Amino acid sequence: MKQLDRIADTYCGHVRAKLPFGGRSRKDYLAHLRQDVLSYLSTHPWTTQKELEEAFGSPEDIALSFLSELSYPEIMDRIRARNRAVRIVSVAACAALLLLIAMIVYMLIRNRQDMDGHFVITQAIDTFGRRWLL
């Protein structure tokens, strides 16, 4: 039985990767598909992945049928939500990058002001015993 579950999970995983949207309808669709695949596998236990695709269709075909069940406004709402999320993440990443750059510039300016024109010369000894001026 574990092998049949593994075959069904693999097939449903391939379908899940092809579905463009998440959400409740996707979870319900995949749950029904998994149940159908398991019931098919219980009557045909020696089915391979290729035979399963022949019986149910390729993951691309199933993704198309999932999209055909959605209404146009629902598809557009999901596309807008995804675009909105991408914009928010992009703006947040740019703001974090600008903040990092501002902090580095501030540290460089502050370090230069703290030196007041004085340099500290120290000696460093490397692993071979040579002295270096820093």
pLDDT by 10s per residue, the chain, length 134: 688 888 888 989 999 998 887 778 888 889 999 999 999 988 888 888 888 888 888 999 998 888 888 888 888 888 898 899 999 999 999 999 999 999 999 998 887 777 776 666 666 666 666 665 55
Q: Same domain, yes or no, for 31 and 81?
A: no
Same domain, 39 and 97: no
Structure tokens at 115: 């030196």
Helix axis angle for 59-69 and 24-43, nearest 10°, is 130
Domain ranges, residue 97: 72-134
Whether residues 84 and 54 share a domain: the answer is: no
Number of domains in the chain: 2
Do 32 and 47 belong together in one domain? Answer: yes
- Cβ distance 26 to 66 under 8 Å? yes
Same domain, 58 and 84: no
Question: Do 17 and 43 sit in the same domain of this protein?
Answer: yes
The one-character DSSP state at 120 is: -
